[in-house]
Amino acid sequence: MPYTRGGTVDRTEVGALVQSAVDGDTAAWKALVEGLSPLVWSVVRAHRLSEADGHEVYQTVWFRFAQHLGRIREPDKAGSWLASTARNECLKVIKSLRRLTPTDDPQLLDRVSEDRTPEQSVLDSEEAAAQSERVRHLWQEFEALGERCRQLLRVLISSPPPSYQEVSAALGIAVGSIGPMRQRCLRRLRARLDARGAL
């Protein structure tokens, strides 16, 4: 009997697969990787890392999962563990990328497009600053939402979006509750942005 169906794994099967993998069953390990990889990738994509950084995070998440396999307290929630670990690893990468590195390389310093007028450059930079401010407000209000809303929306905004079964496996939310919870979270976010005048 195959462990996976169409690259996904039933949440009810995850605990048994983890236990079998702990016992050395390579087919169970392969089924976990194949079944839960779309979830890991959805979290990675939601954080918009470069392809190289995304692959690095993906590898790190599965390496940590293998390291902790026998110590996961709730094996049936392995998807949640993977999603949370992927998120933490993505945030580590993003934090490290924010550190600015001073340079005196003239090629980097002289990167100015020849066909843009100074006026156009000013307009572009003002528009970019306004857009950046809108995005900053959005993320500030997003961060002020409850942890459950933030977790759910982060996974759902990935591209391509994961199936509700994958979201359920990752976050331990019943499939039927995902849609209503998503609507409540988005309404709350919109209300916060409206109150701030950020839309």
Identity (one letter) of the amino acid at 197? G
What tens digit of pLDDT does each residue of 105-159 get? 555 544 444 455 555 556 666 677 767 777 788 888 888 888 888 888 888 877 6
Please work out, in degrees rounded to the nearest 5, the angle formed at the alpha carbon of residue 78 by the alpha carbons of 77 and 83.
100
Q: How far apart are CA 41 and CA 155, in angstroms?
A: 10
Contact 161, 170 (CB under 8 A): no
Find all residues with CB under 8 Å of 95, minimum gap 6, and list them.
none
Which parts of 69-77 fold into alpha helices (H)?
none
What tens digit of pLDDT does each residue of 32-88 get? 998 888 889 988 888 888 889 999 999 999 999 988 888 888 888 888 888 888 988
Q: What is the pTM of this model?
A: 0.50
Q: What percent of the chain has pLDDT over 90?
A: 17
**Placement of tokens 């156009």 in the chain:** 120
Q: DSSP 3-state assignment of 2?
A: coil
Is pLDDT at 180 greater than 90 in this prediction? yes
Q: DSSP 3-state assignment of 29?
A: helix
Identify the weakest region by mean pLDDT among 84-93, 95-104, 164-173. Answer: 95-104
